[in-house]
Structure 1
């Protein structure tokens, strides 16, 4: 059985949050990406950003990692 790989979860979450911010800026900057049938796209980016920040806060407080398991 191979040993578990150490992953910096906070760094992974930071990168994900930055990607959601960039996606939100792009969607808001290009009008065709948030008009008509795509009106929900900015809210998808906002939801990803909010959930990412909540996950970041959860792991930062020491929960959500396997070190205490």
Structure 2
């Protein structure tokens, strides 16, 4: 049985992290708003913490948005800044001679 040649892995895809985290944050906040009118009924059935869990998810989503935006901006800055070391690129690292 012949082995097939291995192909190199494709580069990773970039996702719009800010939009994804922002969408999740909005959904957590909408869940909070939907559950608030039913707070009394939820408490009677032992689920009174559900609205607060949703609000916590929205708050953590805001922290996630801050982080994703900072990460996105740092990646953009690193792509546009000139390379400082001779023979070094932003994606490859230091050049190595293999003699």
Give the TM bin, normalised by the shorter chain.
0.7 to 0.9
Specify the alignment match of 1:3 in structure 2: 11
The TM-score with structure 1 as length reference comes to 0.77
Specify the alignment match of 2:66 in structure 1: 57
The TM-score with structure 2 as length reference comes to 0.56
* Counterpart-to-counterpart distance in 1, 2:12 and 2:20: 17
Higher RCO (CA < 8 A, seq sep 6+)? 1
Is the radius of gyration larger for structure 1 or structure 2?
Answer: 2
Specify the alignment match of 1:42 in structure 2: 51
Following TM superposition, by how much is the alpha carbon of 1:3 offset from its aligned partner in structure 2, in angstroms? 2.4
Equivalent residues, number: 66
Unaligned runs of 5+ in 1: none
Unaligned runs of 5+ in 2: 1-8, 79-90, 92-99
Instruction: Report the RMSD for the aligned CA atoms in angstroms.
Output: 2.2
